[in-house]
Structure 1
């Protein structure tokens, strides 16, 4: 199987290093139980659309779709720590998703559908997974807000080494004030 086939791809928001550090610190400060496996600050992101294992032609078409997007930059106010118990995940999220974020996801879904993408049935919940393997109940908690000025989005390649997932931004697009 080629590297292209074994890799998985997704569109994502990726914070700059300073914002990622603040997000990581907020998560560590809010999570009182240390038996979780924290996600490294350099890997924190919000998945917009998960494409999965796709071929080069599909990737090229997906990138052309991203080239055509015209969404304004926006701010995310990350202010809550939440849990998905079934998956044993803790994640950071917003009180309200900005309309530009919803437009970005909706536009990507709509255009990707034209090239065969099948979207997930569940509603999009913008979230940053900050810890895995958390085997205790955690109720939604307010955290010290972290402001994230979103200026671009990325196409990310994820490769599993057997030990961890390695992420690589293969393309990025600026959000434009038009």
Structure 2
């Protein structure tokens, strides 16, 4: 199973981000992320043996993060992998603490985790030919109350992200 930990938006946030993706895709002519797959990755794990699922669920339940508000207010472009994403002008400190704690725990358990500083983002368009120009978006406010362990799978040739378990953050 291919797994990752992520912030998983509610339907309202997802719809607003989907509008951003549609507007961007018209400008950059790439592949917009399917609405139901929109999320913010915290830690990508890759291919994981099914027997490790229980220990990952235990690890997720032990995370000591606090709920927070996340505001996506910028469109950004990574030219090296041709991705347009929703970004934050100012990520809350609670998000940095959460990502750092999760990555440290995963590393302690022997998982290979990204050592680069965490950048809050939601991938909107892949294979973008350029940075979006002239696309106006309204800020998206996201009340983050939990994190999710998510499976990435192909179903009939379509990439599907499916939350396996969610872990509530303290309020």
Shared fold per TM-score greater than 0.5:
yes
Residue 45 of structure 2: aligned partner: 51
Residue 2 of structure 2: aligned partner: 8
Shift of 1:139: 6.8
Question: Residue 96 of structure 1: which of 68, 90, 97 is its match?
Answer: 90
Aligned ranges 1:29-178 → 2 under 5 Å: 29-30=23-24, 32-33=26-27, 35-138=29-132, 143-161=137-155, 163-177=157-171
CA contact (8 A) 1:80 1:142 kept: no
Q: In 2 relative to 1, CA 43–115 (structure 1 residues): closer, same or farther, beyond 3 Å? A: same
Residue 28 of structure 1: aligned partner: 22
Kindly provide the CA deviation profile for residues 149-177 of structure 1, in whole angstroms up to 9, marking residues without a partner as x.
Answer: 11111000001347221111111011112
Give the Cα–Cα distance (whole angstroms) in 2 for the partners of residues 175 and 123 of structure 1.
22
Kindly provide the CA deviation profile for residues 58-102 of structure 1, in whole angstroms up to 9, marking residues without a partner as x.
Answer: 322221111112222111110000111121111001112111111
Give the Cα–Cα distance (whole angstroms) in 2 for the partners of residues 110 and 39 of structure 1.
29
Consecutive aligned runs of 4 or more in structure 1 exceeding 6 Å deviation: 139-142
Q: Pairwise CA RMSD of aligned residues?
A: 2.1
Instruction: Report SS of the residue matched to 1:122.
Output: coil
Normalised by the length of structure 1, the TM-score is 0.87
